[in-house]
Amino acid sequence: MSKGLFRTENEFVRWLQTLAARAQGQESAQRPEKGVKLGIGDDAALVGVRNRHELILTTDMSVEGVHFTRRLHPPIAVGHRALARSLSDVAAMGGVPRYVLVSLAISKEVTREWVSGFYRGMMALGRRFGVRLVGGDTALVAGRTFIDVVVAGEVSRGKALRRSGARAGDQIFVSGPLGLSALGLRLLQSKAARARTLAPLAREAVQAHLYPEPQCALGRFLSQRRMASALMDLSDGLSTDLFRLCAASGVGARLWAAKIPRPELLDPEDSLQLALHGGEDYQLLFTVPRRKASRLPSKFQRRPLYHIGEIEASKAIKLVTPEGNVRTLEPAGWDYFR
């Protein structure tokens, strides 16, 4: 028995069923509701998918020491971030997230309070997005905690937005400021975040890092109105993700550095580097054909959409610096293999 965690797997499953039922505001997590025919506790989950809809499936890992640390990230934030990664993938297809499964290899070093905080953080975010926890897997392991979050979502048949639809002449947009999450992580690492009074920008950056907000409503708007030719989420940094979008579409791009929304820092070059290469912003990156651009609202849900560049036929990605120079932009965001 590992001190204070759970005595048996059955005890863990019952504990989780109760927690899920409370957090999700229903009497029993196994009571069929909202498409859930069978939730936590059987061999598998059983859910409904609406007619004339396609199923979106995505899975994202969060590994202790890679995506989070127990020192810098409170368990509620670990749960929030782990689910936010997958919700953002569904947003990036223009879909609606519906169900979540969580595989959790719990380090023997963590407490029951940590596990509880993790699930509460995840379910609080899930509840806001109408997503139900329906299953998963659990193990107890020596060493680091390992999380894998699976989200299943739906999108009207034929309406999903891919990375591969961008064409020369399309306008490039992002849904919000870039580099905030990377700045927040830097502040957390430097202990500056623990100062009693934080500047508003620092507070915003730490919040963006710990509690990123998936852009599901915007993704759905873009897909249902058929506004975007290509869509993806910014998880690994603009330079790396735009490179992927361009590669999938067989095109290049020209970005205007001056137009990229980013934190105002004393060192403008530092700010630009964070915006170009800092990951985990979970804003949406999308392209809009020129003839549709006039129909794109300047704001969505009171937040501005930023026109940051254009798709070009030549396959390079060019950056027009604030000084007006043009240089080639190489993918330099997050990559495990580097």
Selected from 120, 244, 292, 307, the binder of a copy of itself by CB under 8 A is 244
Q: Restricting to residues 245-284, which ones interact with a copy of itself according to CB under 8 A?
A: 247-248
The stretch among 20-28, 145-153, 166-174, 322-330 that binds a copy of itself (CB under 8 A) is 145-153
- Nearest to 37, CA basis, from 95, 125, 98: 98
Considering the complex, state which of residue 188 and residue 231 has its C-beta at the smaller distance from a copy of itself.
231
Q: What six digits make up the tokens of 218?
A: 């915007």
Element (H, E) at 75: helix 75-91
User: Least distance in Å: CB of 324 to a copy of itself?
Assistant: 31
Element (H, E) at 58: strand 53-63
Considering the complex, state which of residue 16 and residue 193 has its C-beta at the smaller distance from a copy of itself.
16
User: Least distance in Å: CB of 330 to a copy of itself?
Assistant: 11
Asked if 302 interacts with a copy of itself (CB under 8 A), we say no
Q: What is the x/- site pattern for a copy of itself, positions 83-102, by CB under 8 A?
A: ------xx-xx-x---x-x-
Selected from 65, 130, 297, 322, the binder of a copy of itself by CB under 8 A is 65
Asked if 71 interacts with a copy of itself (CB under 8 A), we say no
Selected from 3, 4, 51, 267, the binder of a copy of itself by CB under 8 A is 51
Q: What six digits make up the tokens of 228?
A: 């975007």
Asked if 66 interacts with a copy of itself (CB under 8 A), we say yes
DSSP code of 331?
P
SS (H, E, C) 133-184: EEEEEEEEECCCCEEEEEEEEEEECCCCCCCCCCCCCCEEEECCCCCHHHHH
Q: What is the x/- site pattern for a copy of itself, positions 180-199, by CB under 8 A?
A: --------------------
DSSP bridge partners of 171: 288, 310
Give me the amino acid identity at 35.
G
Considering the complex, state which of residue 44 and residue 326 has its C-beta at the smaller distance from a copy of itself.
44
Considering the complex, state which of residue 159 and residue 259 has its C-beta at the smaller distance from a copy of itself.
159
Q: How far apart are the C-alpha atoms of 315 and 329, rounded to whole Å?
A: 12
- Nearest to 133, CA basis, from 141, 142, 125, 145: 125
User: Least distance in Å: CB of 72 to a copy of itself?
Assistant: 18
Contact 240, 334 (CB under 8 A): yes
Hey, how many other C-beta atoms are within 10 angstroms of the C-beta on 291?
8
CA–CA–CA angle 161, 212, 203 (5° rounding): 145
Selected from 32, 130, 143, 297, the binder of a copy of itself by CB under 8 A is 143
Q: What six digits make up the tokens of 328?
A: 């080639």
Q: How far apart are the C-alpha atoms of 331 and 243, rounded to whole Å?
A: 6
DSSP bridge partners of 317: 253
Selected from 150, 172, 183, 228, the binder of a copy of itself by CB under 8 A is 150
User: Least distance in Å: CB of 231 to a copy of itself?
Assistant: 8
Q: What is the x/- site pattern for a copy of itself, positions 10-29, by CB under 8 A?
A: xxx-----------------
String of b and e for 148-158 (b: at least 16 CB within 10 Å)? bbbbbbbbbee
Contact 131, 99 (CB under 8 A): yes
Asked if 44 interacts with a copy of itself (CB under 8 A), we say yes
Asked if 332 interacts with a copy of itself (CB under 8 A), we say no
Considering the complex, state which of residue 103 and residue 321 has its C-beta at the smaller distance from a copy of itself.
103
Q: Restricting to residues 123-142, which ones interact with a copy of itself according to CB under 8 A?
A: 134-142
User: Least distance in Å: CB of 263 to a copy of itself?
Assistant: 25
Selected from 22, 34, 37, 290, the binder of a copy of itself by CB under 8 A is 37
